[in-house]
Amino acid sequence: MSSVLDSIIEGVLEDVERRSIPMNQLKAQLSDAADLRGALQALTGSDMKIISEVKRASPSKGDLGEILQPARLAAQYESGGASVISVLTEERRFKGSIKDFTEVRREVSIPMLRKDFIVTEYQVIESRVLGADLLLLIVAGLSQSQYCDFHQMANELGMDVLVEIHNEEELERALEANPTIVGVNSRNLKTLDVDPRAFDQLLPMIPSGIIKVAESGISERSEVAHVEELGADAILVGETLVRAGDPIAAISRLLGK
């Protein structure tokens, strides 16, 4: 039976094919790519960091809210103390777009994560052309050779990589590429179920020296404090901030400031 993740990747591949230009033309655009802003450095430090996400919809929740000006929302995130801005670019299930990403990048000065299902070499190079400082690689959606190749390629292009895992087996696979940032997603992308126990199990297992990110299902200050006790260095939050009437206050509340 096809999982939700399989269905998403199928659509992503169709969309990549639709918008693709010849690879030599894409690579030629790298010379004009914007300077990188250092995502790893932005997520390093003793205090809890937040990756704040511009997210229009999700497969599990549907539309999260009308975002008429994604750049304005991202600017509020930056003013509120976000360390990194994440922008969804997957079109079908999350209603994101490359346009959203480029508009936000022009508005903010902090590093940006391209949040998508990266399953082709084309998307890795495209991400650098777009100005992504941080690239998401979801272990569950990639073969081991794809994962290692894309991780190396992203690093060679200067980007940092957020490696997303959901279980112990994926953590073992993730570590083969010597990642600097690993995210534990409590939402199973194959079923869309959320299990916060994933944080309890996996965050303490990530080796020291790696930036640890807790993803999905975080909406309360107590939850942030809990993952911090488990070793998390950062949280990735989208839905809670998009639905907050005041995202600046919401960030302050989550970070306990």
Q: Tell me if residue 170 is catalytic.
A: no
Which CATH number goes with the domain that contains 123?
A: 3.20.20.70
Would residue 55 show up in a list of annotated catalytic residues for this protein? yes
> For the chain, how big is the Rg over CA atoms in Å?
17
State which residues form the domain around 68: 4-255
Count of structural domains, the chain: 1
> Does residue 215 carry a catalytic annotation?
yes
Q: Are 241 and 219 in contact (CB under 8 A)?
A: no
- More confident: 97 or 59: 97
Told to judge if 164 belongs to the known catalytic residues of this protein, a careful annotator would answer yes
Alpha helix (H) residue ranges in the chain: 4-19, 23-28, 39-42, 70-80, 98-107, 121-130, 144-156, 168-175, 197-202, 221-229, 239-243, 247-255
CA distances from 230 to 135, 164, 194, 223 (A): 24, 17, 18, 11
Residue 53 annotated in active site: yes
Chain segment 60-82, per-residue pLDDT in tens: 777 777 777 999 999 999 999 99
Q: Which of 78, 215, 228, 239 does the annotation list as catalytic?
A: 215
Distances (CA, A) of 202 to 109, 148, 191, 236, 257: 32, 21, 19, 16, 27
Catalytic-role residue among 55, 83, 127, 188:
55
- b/e 80-100 (16+ beta carbons within 10 angstroms → b): bbbbbbbbbbbbebbbbbbeb
pLDDT digits (tens, 9 = 90+) for 138-191: 999 999 999 999 999 999 999 999 999 999 999 999 999 999 999 999 987 777
pLDDT of residue 225: 97
